[in-house]
Structure 1
Amino acid sequence: MDGTGTDKLGAPLPTNPTISDVAQRAGVSRAVASRALSDEQRPVSAEKKARVLQAAQELGFRPNLLARSLTTKSVNLVAVVVNHIHDLSDLDLFDPLLAAVQNTGKQVIFVRVGSSDRVESFLRTGVAYHVDAAIVFSDFADAATVRTLFRSELVLMLNGRHDPESPAVIPDERVGIAEAVAHAAAQGVRTAALVTGRPTSVLEQARIRLYHAALAAHGIRLTASLQGDYSYASGHKAGEELAQAPRPDAIFCTSDAMAMGVLDRLRGDFPGGRATTTRLYGFDNLSLTDFDAYPISSIGFDKQAYVAAVIAVLTGAATGPWPLTLPTRFHPRLTG
């Protein structure tokens, strides 16, 4: 092309080239041209593929992904469903997860749910998205609802609300929590406060039960249970409440973001980030806890292994039984 709308021989080029124009220029059928320009597994000879690619380049042809989706039944889109975007535990996963999904040849769209009412509104108004798969972090949606919302049978549930038809990946939190509480007991902890997240979360409910059982097993008395929502702000508010009363020997938070809020409010109890009279434990093992500002003892799973498990489900390499579980471990730092 010379940029004037003609090819090298001076013949006019179509303004909006189609797959038929590409096929005609390459001297192949429309079906062959379509296969050569797509990721379909049906074979096309190397010679024909090269001719089609050259014709597409000369014509300035760009595939219509929507039109292709109507014939291949694939749109190469994966929905990631979240409550909102300020949960640091999710943000820590998003970058490696998005990179891994894109490496499979698909792109990601985020859908912010925010509340169970929002899910119901989507369904009532017919708002839906055609995607190849959905990855569900949000604790407001169950598997059947998500399948309806996205018109997809491949719904990967990460929130504990899976059913027999949906694959699921969840952390096994028993070992990590047991290790953290045992560590506290070994430091002489006899009383504790628990700062919890959203009660709507199935995983959070199970997490709280595990904390209660581990504390009881070590004879640690729970003196306060404060409701948060996993956010830094809710942790800071809990820290304010704890500052108004005699401090327990340890404070356990069910997210690192809340533990950061507690730490900032009670910095006087942690000179240089180090525990003195009170110990602080978080959950998620965020990357931020490796920095000097927030040296929080925490519980977490291997994020690379988690992402690998998600991708294995999306690509069909993992076939169950569900749920797939990943072990958590305790990571001691200065606040513990």
Structure 2
Amino acid sequence: MDESILGRGRASMADVAALAGVSGQTVSRVANRHPRVDATTRARVEAAMAELGYRPHRAARALRTGRSQSIGVVVATLATVGNTRMLEAVSAAASTKGYALVVVSPTDRSGLDGAFTTLRDQGVDGAIVLNEATALARGAELPRALDLVVVDSPPDERFAVVESDHAGGAHIATAHLLALGHPTVWHLGGPETSYAAAEREAGWRAALEEAGIVAPPVIRGDWSAASGHVAGLELAPRPDVSALFVANDQMALGLLRALHGEGRSVPGEVSVIGFDDVADAADYTPPLTTVRQDFDTLGQRAVEALVARIEGGPIAEPAQGEEPAVLPPLWRDVVPTRLVVRESTGPAASVAP
């Protein structure tokens, strides 16, 4: 490397072009992810960028393209593991695409409209909404000039949707418990306002109906371990409760503590399945059987869908196997979930060996 470049501070596009042996226009195309650059040249330019520590000037790019290269993220709370994991995944995927994040939360006073106003003022190119599907589905006014992707929502012509297969995962979890000989499966559900909670409840109900079993009443929590503990204290004295499907791992943690405190053995007397497969699920007592969400794929798919809307290009093949295409007005991508069997589930006591 020419040592004079190091002495000038920030490397320029011309410096990259000189080191890579290409034109400035080629460097610009690589920096802006233009498809018409052959792989060998792209690799040489990217290596030169890395060696020089070159970073495209975001303000200059915005003037050229009319885009800020930033994405808004609307998230109601980071108190839940799911929201935190999703934000991490979106941040990583956006960085890979060359976009910065602007994170906002609706306030009690301004609500979702206020969050969108903040994003418009920040000049973002589009936005990803995490777990605000209820507000959106109830007819909240959406910004017409802002491309949107919503994580977890019913299909809607106003925005693209990316979601986990909540219902499918819940169905598999419930069927697993029934296959272990449990006469029924109780459900500790999430908040009634949550789309994900509603989908998980629907999957649980469907599995019971297919087995010809009338669903027990749903016990409702708020995603927190504390609400799981309260529910566990309510259910622990009931001898007819031998299997529980819990709508998330945090509530399952509180439920396990309550069952233990009340002298109910898990899985000897009660089997428990959670949902999410949080990082500590394998370290619960006992290690928790749970439904795994692929947060990394969810974040990647949400960013890909939004960038495709912003830039007008094709999106990669969706998880369900549709052909690559420019996003239509109504678009939905469902990311598979899977059951991870650990030590919190076992045969019903009456059929245990």
TM-score in terms of structure 2 length: 0.69
Give 1:305's aligned residue: 297
Q: Name stretches of at least 5 consecutive residues in structure 2 with no aligned partner.
A: 1-6, 15-23, 46-51, 309-314, 317-324, 346-353
Report how far residue 277 of structure 1 moved: 0.8
Give 2:340's aligned residue: 331
* Gap change, CA 1:309 and 1:191, over 3 Å in 2: same
Contact 1:185 1:220 in 2 (8 A): no
**Does 1:276 find its partner at 2:251?**
no
Further displaced range: 101-110 or 91-100: 91-100
Contact 1:78 1:106 in 2 (8 A): yes
Question: Distance between the aligned counterparts of 1:249 and 1:323, measured in 2?
Answer: 37
Contact 1:92 1:287 in 2 (8 A): no
Contact 2:191 2:223 in 1 (8 A): yes
Show CA shifts across 1:131-173 (max 9, x none). Answer: 1221111324428857519x422x1111214522422112223
Give 2:18's aligned residue: none
Give 2:168's aligned residue: 175
* Gap change, CA 1:194 and 1:188, over 3 Å in 2: same
* Gap change, CA 1:244 and 1:214, over 3 Å in 2: same
Question: Distance between the aligned counterparts of 2:101 and 2:273, measured in 1?
Answer: 33
Q: Percent identity?
A: 26
Contact 2:31 2:56 in 1 (8 A): no
Q: Secondary structure at the match of 2:218?
A: strand
Report how far residue 285 of structure 1 moved: 2.1
Question: Distance between the aligned counterparts of 1:294 and 1:114, measured in 2?
Answer: 39
Report how far residue 37 of structure 1 moved: 12
Show CA shifts across 1:62-120 (max 9, x none). Answer: 98745753553222221222120011122233333322211111122222236696224
Q: Which runs of structure 2 are paired with 1:55-204 in the superposition (5 Å)?
A: 65=58, 69=62, 72-113=65-106, 118-122=111-115, 128-139=121-132, 140-142=134-136, 145=140, 147-148=142-143, 151-153=145-147, 155-204=148-197
* Gap change, CA 1:189 and 1:114, over 3 Å in 2: farther
The structure showing larger relative contact order (alpha-carbon pairs under 8 Å, at least 6 residues apart) is: 2
Question: Distance between the aligned counterparts of 1:169 and 1:69, measured in 2?
Answer: 28
**Does 1:240 find its partner at 2:240?**
no
Q: Secondary structure at the match of 2:275?
A: coil
Considering only CA atoms, is the larger Rg found in Structure 1 or Structure 2?
A: 1
* Gap change, CA 1:107 and 1:125, over 3 Å in 2: closer
* Gap change, CA 1:116 and 1:260, over 3 Å in 2: farther
Question: Distance between the aligned counterparts of 1:42 and 1:178, measured in 2?
Answer: 42
Q: Secondary structure at the match of 1:287?
A: coil
* Gap change, CA 1:123 and 1:39, over 3 Å in 2: closer
Show CA shifts across 1:194-217 (max 9, x none). Answer: 111121223332322221121232
* 1:287 alignment partner AA: A
Contact 2:72 2:126 in 1 (8 A): yes
Q: CA RMSD in A?
A: 4.1
Paired residues in the alignment total 299
Q: Name stretches of at least 5 consecutive residues in structure 1 with no aligned partner.
A: 1-7, 9-18, 23-31, 51-56
Question: Distance between the aligned counterparts of 1:195 and 1:327, measured in 2?
Answer: 22
* 1:286 alignment partner AA: V
